[in-house]
Structure 1
């Protein structure tokens, strides 16, 4: 989605926050910016390995593990680099495998040692014993944020404020009608009912879309330590609709 924002295929996208910040830094000519928050709670990234893997804990990945990723610059890569910096792992190696099914297959076939993906999405694969859960990496920042080009944000402040407000209203209704909302999640995404309940327990939507500057700075600092991005000032990342 970040690439499509940069090429003009999309006007607005809701992206994994760390992926958006990394994309803003790596597509400087496109002048991408983060302009709002969609999911204010952190996204838990599950670390998965083959069922017969020798790894028993996250610390066991610290000696040069090879990680599967969906594509270069994706959340699966960014979070693997973040985890390596947080846990002081050796510099990880990467193999581009594709979507979640290809990542699972690549791990089963020992093309890679591990991969990271959203925790609840992985539960069906753990239940089927396709791969084994090793642990969770949970960064201290909002899971999903809104992104657009600086030009689009400056030209459409009212449109974007209205968009965020309307999405916030829908999210509020979703939370008020929890049972109905969870049925929709199960029917649309194929989650088991108990998995949807777990998911709803850790997801918190931002109803006003406000940007927490301290948390954005935390993302940038963490990605800098992980060598995902270079130096990046806050004003090069965040631009609110209507901001001068």
Structure 2
């Protein structure tokens, strides 16, 4: 049986992977797919792809585009989630900051440089007409637990993370959300290391067929809202709102969308140049 390692964030977006693994769907095809939770998010997964500790990743679009251009030997093989990610902008519950204007020029907590929390801080700054050189400062906090500690202790001033994942922290009075910042593109793609693709294209195709069968019917799974609420400790009404806003994809990201992502990253000085579509994607 072929061992294949895949990484992703331990969030509700990836429940479909858990369900297909639980049901032994990959093993039935001779694939021992091992899922690895990456609490550090996209930056940590990019490192895993570069080092070969994972073969595949369910990863933020903007993060993997930036890292491929920076030398990550991987390709995007499919869009996973078509809808944008809604990033909540959070401060400590007792923070003096009340609005997005208040956090201009303060320290953004980021999991690591090149992560979604880092890149989206630039998008939020652009949306609010901040000076990208003067009005952005960063404090590396590694993961969500680090953000809780950092904001509580005053080591950082605000933190951007997927709003439904952090909603329980808002409800518990640890964070206070002062705004939202949707990503201006489909939020998650599936990326694969080039050398792995070269030798295991059929296995990748099989894995995608299995996960796509589940995501295409995900919202129709009986009591899926309750399953998510229980597994991820979220309120049922929040899960239902999230489900209403989220659309999965079974297609390769298109050229127009990738151009848009690169245009934005180039404008924000996050990438030094744009790449051709064929150098970023692999069509199975």
Q: Distance in 2 between matches of 1:154 and 1:214?
A: 26
How many pairs are equivalent?
A: 236
2:128 to 56, 62, 87: 87
| Matched residue SS, 2:138 | strand
Residue 235 (structure 2) aligns with: 192
Stretches of structure 2 lacking an aligned partner (at least 5 in a row): 1-44
Is residue 2:179 matched to residue 1:135?
yes
Residue 51 (structure 1) aligns with: 93
Q: Which has the higher contact order (CA 8 A, sep 6+)?
A: 1
1:77 to 118, 128, 136: 118
Deviations 1:134-168 (A, max 9, x none): 11111221111011123333433332222212111
Mean Cα deviation higher: 185-194 or 10-19 = 185-194
Calculate the TM-score normalised by the size of structure 1. Answer: 0.89
Contact 1:164 1:209 in 2 (8 A): no
2:269 to 212, 227, 236: 227
Deviations 1:162-208 (A, max 9, x none): 2212111111232222x4222221222222212211211111111x2
2:216 to 149, 156, 172: 172
Contact 2:107 2:156 in 1 (8 A): yes
Contact 1:50 1:131 in 2 (8 A): yes
| Matched residue SS, 1:156 | helix
Contact 2:168 2:233 in 1 (8 A): no
Q: Distance in 1 between matches of 2:252 and 2:171?
A: 37
Calculate the TM-score normalised by the size of structure 2. Answer: 0.78
1:105 to 138, 141, 149: 149
Contact 1:168 1:209 in 2 (8 A): no
Contact 1:165 1:209 in 2 (8 A): no
2:165 to 121, 142, 147: 121
Structure 1 residue 121, shift from structure 2 partner: 0.8
Q: Distance in 2 between matches of 1:7 and 1:106?
A: 29
Stretches of structure 1 lacking an aligned partner (at least 5 in a row): none
Larger helix proportion of the pair: 1
Is residue 2:149 matched to residue 1:149?
no
Q: Distance in 1 between matches of 2:157 and 2:268?
A: 20
Is residue 2:32 matched to residue 1:32?
no
| Matched residue SS, 2:90 | strand
Q: Distance in 1 between matches of 2:100 and 2:278?
A: 35
Structure 1 residue 225, shift from structure 2 partner: 1.6
Is residue 2:244 matched to residue 1:217?
no
Q: Distance in 2 between matches of 1:5 and 1:78?
A: 19
Residue 283 (structure 2) aligns with: 240
Q: Which runs of 4+ in 1 moved over 6 A?
A: none
